[in-house]
C-alpha cells in the first residue's frame, strides 16, 4: 500500500498539473466552469491510463474504465462545488483550483483505488 500511495502521488501530481495547465490556458477565453471541465476531462483520460498501468498495476478494461468514471462523477461534483464556493468566497478564479485540489485529491485516491482494485467475476 505504501508504494501504491507514492505512485498515486506521482500520477496525481501529473494529472493535476495537466488539469490546472489546461484550465489556466482556457480561463481567459471560457467560463471558469467550462475551462475546469475541459481540463478535468483531458486529465481524466491521462489519469485512467497512468493509474491503471503505473499506480495500481492493472490492465485497463472497459469495466475498470466505467468504475473509474463512476468514481470520478462524485469527485467531479465535489470539485465543481468547491471551485464555485472558493470563487464565491473571493479567491481569484486562476487560484481557486489549488484549495480544491488539496481537498479533492485525497478523496479521489480512495475512490479510484476502490474502482480499479475491485474484484469482479470474470476479471
| 45-91 pLDDT, tens digit each | 998 999 888 877 888 888 888 888 887 888 899 999 999 999 999 99
71-103: string of b/e by CB count within 10 Å (b at 16+)? bbeebbebbbebbeebbeeebebeebbeebbee
Cβ count near 63 (within 10 Å): 13
d(CA 81, CA 110): 19
d(CA 39, CA 33): 10
Residues 6+ apart with CB under 8 A from 96: 32, 83, 86, 87
Is 43 a residue whose pLDDT tops 80?
Answer: yes
Predicted local distance difference test score (pLDDT) of residue 14? 94
How far is the first Cα of the chain from the last one, in angstroms, to the nearest whole number? 21
Predicted local distance difference test score (pLDDT) of residue 88? 98
Cβ count near 112 (within 10 Å): 24
d(CA 80, CA 74): 10
d(CA 112, CA 69): 9
Cβ count near 22 (within 10 Å): 18
Predicted confidence band of residue 116 (pLDDT cuts 50, 70, 90):
low
Predicted local distance difference test score (pLDDT) of residue 94? 97
Amino acid at each position: 500500500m505504501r508504494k501504491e500511495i507514492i505512485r498515486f502521488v506521482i500520477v496525481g501530481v501529473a494529472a493535476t498539473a495537466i488539469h490546472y495547465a489546461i484550465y489556466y490556458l482556457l480561463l481567459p477565453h471560457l467560463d471558469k466552469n467550462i475551462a475546469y471541465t475541459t481540463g478535468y476531462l483531458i486529465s481524466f483520460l491521462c489519469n485512467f491510463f497512468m493509474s491503471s498501468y503505473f499506480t495500481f498495476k492493472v490492465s485497463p478494461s472497459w469495466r475498470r474504465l466505467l468504475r473509474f468514471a463512476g468514481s470520478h462523477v462524485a469527485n467531479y461534483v465535489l470539485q465543481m462545488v468547491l471551485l464555485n464556493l472558493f470563487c464565491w468566497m473571493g479567491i481569484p478564479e486562476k487560484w481557486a483550483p489549488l484549495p480544491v485540489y488539496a481537498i479533492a485529491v485525497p478523496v479521489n485516491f480512495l475512490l479510484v483505488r476502490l474502482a480499479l482494485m475491485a474484484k469482479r467475476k470474470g476479471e
